[in-house]
C-alpha cells in the first residue's frame, strides 16, 4: 500500500518506534546509513526527514538535495546497497521527505567498510530495537548470514551443551553466550555456536537488548521438543 499524506501524518503523530525514525534534516551519510541499515536488517520502516523528535514538522528545503543525498547513502555507504522508495509530501506549506525501506531479503547489511566480506568482529551491522538503531550482536549477525544462505538444521539431536541450556532455562528466563560459556565450561565461541544452532532448529528464540547484546529464550517448540 502506497504511503499517503494522511498515513504519513498518522506515523508522525504516533512518534518514533520500531518502524519509524525522525530526522530534522539530513546529517552525515554514516548516521543516515545506520538508520537505513537497521530498518533493512529488521522489519523495515520509514525514515522521515523534516520532523523533530518531538513530532514538530519543520520541513526540508530541497527535494533535489534530499534525493541525491539519500541515493548516495543507500548506494555508497550501505553494503550491500539498500533498496528504498523516496516520496515527498507538502503539509501546511512545509515539505516532508519519507524514505520507505522494506525488510531486506539480502541480510545482513552493514556500514560500508570496503572489506571483501563481512567481519563479525569489526563490521558495523545495525538492527532496530524499540525506537533505536543499535549495533547487532555477533549471534544475530551470524543468524542473518545463515538464513540468507537458507541454511537449516534437520534431525537436530541434543548433546551435552544443549541439555545444559535447557537446564539453565528451567531456573532462568533467559541465557546468553557468556552465561552458557561459564556454566558449561566451554569457550565463548562454542557457546555462541550452540545457541545459534538451537535457534536454527527453532528450539530457542533470539532477542537483543538496546545495547545490542543478544540473549535467548525457549521457544514453544523447544518446550515441546524437550518433553519428548
Beta strands in the chain (DSSP E): 20-23, 45-49, 78-79, 85-91, 94-101, 110-111, 126-129, 132-135, 204-208, 214-218
Do domains 5-136 and 145-227 share one topology? The answer is: no
Pairing of β 45-49 and β 78-79: unpaired
Please state, in angstroms and as integers, the Cα–Cα distance from residue 77 to each residue in 29, 110, 198, following that order.
7, 9, 33
> Three cell numbers at 7?
498515513
pTM of the complete model beyond 0.75: yes
Residues 6+ apart with CB under 8 A from 73: 29, 32, 33, 36
DSSP, res 137: P
Q: Which of 9-18, 42-51, 85-94, 141-150 has the lowest mean pLDDT?
A: 141-150
Res 146 pLDDT > 90: no
Banded pLDDT at 118 (limits 50, 70, 90): very high
CATH of domain 5-136: 3.30.950.30
Mean pLDDT within 5-29: 95
Mean per-residue pLDDT for 61-68?
94
Place of cell 542473518: 144
Q: What is the pLDDT of residue 222?
A: 57
The pLDDT value recorded for residue 168 is 95
Q: Which cell numbers in the block locate residue 42?
A: 529488521
Give how far Cα 26 sits from Cα of 8, 150, 171, 184, Å. Answer: 18, 36, 48, 48
pLDDT of 94 > 90? The answer is yes
**For 50-59, 90-99, 206-215, which range has the lowest pLDDT when averaged over its residues?**
206-215
Q: Mean pLDDT across the stretch 43-58?
A: 96
pLDDT for 14 beyond 70: yes
What pLDDT is attached to residue 211?
82
The pLDDT value given to residue 49: 97
Residue that the C-alpha cell 565461541 belongs to: 189
- Stronger pLDDT, 220 or 104, i.e. the higher one: 104
For residue 193, the model assigns a pLDDT of: 92
Instruction: Give the architecture (CATH level 2) of 145-227.
Output: Orthogonal Bundle (1.10)
State the chain's mean pLDDT as an integer. 91
How is 68-117 classified by DSSP, letter by letter? Answer: HHHHHHHHHSEES----EEEEEEETTEEEEEEEEPPPSSPPPEE----SS
A 10 A CB-CB count for 194 gives 21
| pLDDT confidence of residue 223 | 61
* Reported confidence tier of residue 226, pLDDT bands at 50, 70, 90: low
Torsion of CA 215, 143, 32, 102, to 10 degrees: -110
Whether 198 contacts 150, CB under 8 Å? no
Residues 101-120 have a mean pLDDT of 94
Q: Are 178 and 168 in contact (CB under 8 A)?
A: no
Tell me the residue length of the chain: 228
The domain limits of the chain are 5-136, 145-227
Residue 183 binned pLDDT confidence (cut-offs 50, 70, 90): very high
Q: What is the pLDDT of residue 75?
A: 97
Q: Which residue is it, cell 530534522? A: 24
For position 212, what pLDDT does the model report? 80
**In this structure, what are the phi and psi dihedrals at residue 92, rounded to the nearest 5 degrees?**
55, 45
Q: What is the pLDDT of residue 121?
A: 86
Amino acid at each position: 500500500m502506497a504511503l499517503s499524506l494522511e498515513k504519513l501524518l498518522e506515523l508522525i503523530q504516533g512518534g518514533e518506534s520500531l518502524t519509524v525514525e525522525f530526522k530534522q534534516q539530513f546529517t552525515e551519510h554514516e548516521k543516515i546509513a545506520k538508520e537505513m541499515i537497521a530498518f533493512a536488517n529488521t522489519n523495515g520502516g520509514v525514515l522521515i526527514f523534516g520532523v523533530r523528535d518531538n513530532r514538530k514538522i519543520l520541513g526540508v528545503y530541497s527535494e533535489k538535495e534530499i534525493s541525491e543525498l539519500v541515493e548516495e547513502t543507500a548506494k555508497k555507504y550501505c553494503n550491500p546497497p539498500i533498496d528504498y522508495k523516496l516520496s515527498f509530501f507538502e503539509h501546511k506549506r512545509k515539505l516532508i521527505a519519507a524514505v520507505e525501506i522494506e525488510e531486506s531479503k539480502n541480510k545482513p547489511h552493514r556500514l560500508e567498510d570496503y572489506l571483501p566480506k563481512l567481519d563479525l568482529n569489526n563490521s558495523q551491522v545495525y538492527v532496530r530495537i524499540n525506537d533505536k538503531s543499535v549495533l547487532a550482536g555477533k549471534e544475530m549477525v551470524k543468524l542473518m548470514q545463515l538464513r540468507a544462505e537458507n541454511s537449516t538444521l534437520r534431525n537436530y539431536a541434543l548433546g551435552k551443551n544443549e541439555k545444559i541450556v535447557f537446564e539453565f532455562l528451567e531456573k532462568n528466563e533467559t541465557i546468553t553466550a557468556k552465561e552458557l560459556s561459564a556454566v558449561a565450561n566451554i569457550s565463548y565461541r562454542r557457546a555462541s555456536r550452540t545457541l545459534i544452532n538451537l535457534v536454527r532448529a527453532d528450539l530457542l528464540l533470539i532477542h537483543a537488548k538496546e545495547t545490542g547484546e543478544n540473549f535467548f529464550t525457549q521457544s514453544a517448540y523447544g518446550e515441546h521438543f524437550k518433553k519428548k
